[in-house]
Amino acid sequence: MIQLGAVYVLAGLIFAAVAVLSAGDRANPRRIRNAAFWGLLALSFLFGDRFGDFGNGLLVLALVGVGGIWGLGIGKPKTTTPEERQRSSTVRGNALFLPALVIPAIALGGSFLLKPYAQPGQATLVSLALGIVVALAIAMLWLRPPLSAPLQEARRLFDSVGWATVLPQMLAALGAIFATSGVGDAVGRLMTSTIPLDSRFAAVAAYTIGMALFTMVMGNAFAAFPVMTAAIGLPLIVHKFGGDPAVMGAIGMLSGFCGTLLTPMAANFNIVPAALLELKDRNAVIKVQAPTALWLLAANTVLMYVLVFRR
């Protein structure tokens, strides 16, 4: 049986390799900081289950110190020139997207086919990791780049994104802490005391809109989900009105993602692309996404109301 730990080991080895390459990049004046940051992240993936809660807490504080206080630099990994990339795209055209499309295809198929062989409940993540490995193998055999190219390109991407690479994991962990500390119950009491939620549609609208708003505050739908589900989803939609928890969870997450499109807190989605594209307006991505996000949120609200109570 394939355990999720194998995926963590794979990710940890990649971060460790990036740390080693960063340490040897003398063109980056902050190479030691970069190496320390990615090295700490590698330790988290490789040995986090052995550190315990206190040890992992110290590791997170160290990551915040290195990435948030000292700051990371941008190295100069060995990569192809713009002219070489232009020639490759001219010759191969849209076929260059094929390795990337292998990843979701294997992730989707493996979610169903690998269930008997993967750790219970983790078939999708295992399939995603498998899809990445297969796609990388196809690209290497087809394009025949240097063996170090995948790691150098990973370092280039990590340096461009910086500390925001770990923002989703940090925010998801913060959401779990909020849920454990009873923030969901407090939010539920506040909303039920101020908003009349005595109808099914009101409960659904409060949940979907609340997911979007809380995601905007937290920057991540995974962080908002346990809070809003404990506050409104389970006590009202499921227990009071008899809604389907699977439908509620699926559409609730989609509603949260609408909030992701609207917030600078989701830096890795909205601020980093603006920086990489060198846009003058750091909120340009959000402004373009806003109409789509609002229409999708309205559609998710109606869709949940129609589907969640059909059992």
Side-chain half-sphere CA neighbours of 258 within 13 A: 23
Task: Let me know if residue 27 belongs to a domain.
Answer: no
* Residue 89 structural domain: 79-145
Does one domain contain both 221 and 284?
Answer: yes
More confident residue, 194 or 163: 163
> Which has the closest alpha carbon to 212: 152, 277, 297?
297
Does one domain contain both 196 and 262?
Answer: yes
Does one domain contain both 201 and 254?
Answer: yes
pLDDT of residue 42: 95
pLDDT of residue 290: 94
Query: Is the alpha carbon torsion for 200, 202, 205, 211 positive or negative?
Result: negative
pLDDT of residue 307: 93
The percent helix, strand, coil of the chain (3-state, each to 5) is 80, 0, 20
Q: Are 281 and 234 in contact (CB under 8 A)?
A: no
Task: Let me know if residue 59 belongs to a domain.
Answer: no
Q: Out of 145, 171, 197, pick the residue that ends a domain.
A: 145
Task: Let me know if residue 8 belongs to a domain.
Answer: no
pLDDT of residue 300: 96
Q: Largest alpha-carbon pair distance within the chain?
A: 64
Which of 45-54, 66-75, 156-165 tops mean pLDDT?
45-54
Query: Per-residue confidence at 192, pLDDT binned at 50, 70, 90?
Result: low
Average pLDDT over residues 249-275: 86
Check whether 288 has a pLDDT greater than 90. Answer: yes
Task: Let me know if residue 44 belongs to a domain.
Answer: no
- Write out pLDDT tens, residues 91-100: 888 888 899 8
Does one domain contain both 141 and 222?
Answer: no
Does one domain contain both 189 and 287?
Answer: yes
Does one domain contain both 186 and 141?
Answer: no
For the chain, percent of residues with pLDDT exceeding 90: 41
Say how many residues make up the chain: 311
Does one domain contain both 83 and 128?
Answer: yes
Query: Is the alpha carbon torsion for 123, 126, 130, 136 positive or negative?
Result: positive
Task: Let me know if residue 42 belongs to a domain.
Answer: no
Does one domain contain both 218 and 301?
Answer: yes
Where is average pLDDT lowest: 75-79, 212-216, 297-301? Answer: 75-79
Q: Count how many domains the chain has.
A: 2
Which of 25-29, 199-203, 292-296 tops mean pLDDT?
292-296
Does one domain contain both 297 and 186?
Answer: yes
Task: Let me know if residue 32 belongs to a domain.
Answer: no
Average pLDDT over residues 138-166: 87
* Model confidence, pTM: 0.75
Does one domain contain both 115 and 195?
Answer: no
pLDDT of residue 188: 67
More confident residue, 200 or 277: 200
CA 74/CA 151 separation, integer angstroms:
15
Query: Per-residue confidence at 256, pLDDT binned at 50, 70, 90?
Result: very high
Task: Let me know if residue 47 belongs to a domain.
Answer: no
Task: Let me know if residue 153 belongs to a domain.
Answer: no
Average pLDDT over residues 275-304: 89
pLDDT of residue 32: 93
Does one domain contain both 137 and 236?
Answer: no
pLDDT of residue 165: 80
- Write out pLDDT tens, residues 109-118: 998 888 888 8
Q: Judge residue 228's burial from the number of C-beta atoms within 10 Å of its C-beta, 0-12 exposed, 13-18 middle, 19 or more buried.
A: buried
Q: Out of 87, 118, 145, pick the residue that ends a domain.
A: 145
Does one domain contain both 202 and 292?
Answer: yes
CA 262/CA 97 separation, integer angstroms:
28
More confident residue, 7 or 68: 7
**DSSP helix/strand/coil, 2:** strand
User: What letter does residue 182 receive in the DSSP assignment?
Assistant: T
Question: Token pair of 64, please?
Answer: 């915040």
